[in-house]
Amino acid sequence: MSNWYENLASEDFSKARTREFLSRIGRLLDPSSDNLLSLEEVKAILKPGGETYEGLKAVPLDLIVGSEGRYRDFNRHFLPKHDHLKQRWVRVDLAHYTDVPLPPVRLYEIGGVYFVRDGNHRVSVAKMRGQDCLDADVSALDAEIPLRPGMTIEELKDEVLEYEKKRFYERTGFGRLTGDEDLSFTSPGRYDDILEHILVHKYYINQGKKDEISFDSALKSWYENVYRPIMDIIHELGLLSRFPRRTASDLYVYIVRYWDDLKRKYGLAYPVAEAARGFSQLYGKSRTEQFRMRFRAFSARILSIMGRLFHREPKND
């Protein structure tokens, strides 16, 4: 009888691997959309606050979207991606056939979804068996931005950027004071940099003054005397064409950092326009270089697709 159950469990794993292969084929043009989310990568984007222990609860399997350490071993549906996972996977599946109780999995909850700390194979088997929920020992990480099942890392970054922009505009009155709604970035955390720039500008304006100027006045002064002149240089020099995946606001932050380094090296009078030109020459790409990079990336993607189609792992029975 035990051999019969073992054969059933082995067949289940084969079915799971076949489903994973078909899922991979269906996402060949966008393979990253089939990836399981990495908890560490999500934490790096969301920067959650404290941790709270929530105890034992039944967690819907559809809300388990990622893993702390095994996100490369399973796809977004928790289907196994490698044959070497078979032995452990079958052992977990066999426990279900023989009514052997398994301990609860351990999960992190963040933004309304869950990530596996321990029990990736148990989650995989439960999903394959069509279960709706799984008993889990849950700890919650505090995050302000809600997540949803099926969200990719890129979509999460977009959500964070929208949230950060909305919060910055509301807290500072940036749009109302400047009439500029285009302060946009491609990486999280840049609005904090802008706030720091404004506060530093406010500090220097207040030097030698009896009455401290308001934050609103400092923001408008920074915008007119620091930000807009550098943005004009960016557009006059056509720098966006050399950084096609960046916004003008991105370039402002990068150029200011580069300019600060040059001022420490050559003195405070170093011109910002020269810093912008130097930054572009050092880090920017010409159209020819961009074409070559895109061609290499396209070639690498085709080779990757071909490898995904024809690669077969050695049997590990």
User: Which residue type, as a one-letter code, is found at position 175?
Assistant: G
Q: At what angle do helices 248-266 and 272-283 cross, to 10 degrees?
A: 110
Domain parsing of the chain, residue ranges: 2-139, 153-284
pLDDT digits (tens, 9 = 90+) for 42-91: 999 998 988 999 999 999 999 999 999 899 999 999 999 999 999 999 99
Which residue has 């500029």 as its token pair? 180
**Would the pTM count as exceeding 0.85?**
no
Lowest-confidence pick of 31-35, 51-55, 114-118, 266-270: 31-35
pLDDT digits (tens, 9 = 90+) for 190-217: 999 999 999 999 999 998 788 889 999 9
Q: Using alpha carbons only, give the angle 156, 157, 162 rounded to the nearest 5 degrees.
A: 100
- The larger pLDDT score, comparing residue 300 to residue 220, is at 220
pLDDT digits (tens, 9 = 90+) for 298-313: 455 555 555 655 554 4
- Cα 33 to chain centroid, rounded: 12
Position 315 pLDDT exceeds 50? no
Tokens, residue 60: 């819907």
Position 19 pLDDT exceeds 80? yes
Whole-number Å distance between alpha carbons of 160 and 43: 12
Average pLDDT, the chain: 89
In this prediction, residue 221 carries a pLDDT of: 97
In this prediction, residue 286 carries a pLDDT of: 53
Percent of the chain with pLDDT over 70: 89
Which residue has 């009439």 as its token pair? 179
In this prediction, residue 307 carries a pLDDT of: 60
pLDDT digits (tens, 9 = 90+) for 143-178: 989 999 989 999 999 999 999 999 999 999 999 999
* CA atoms in the 13 A half-sphere facing the CB of 167: 15
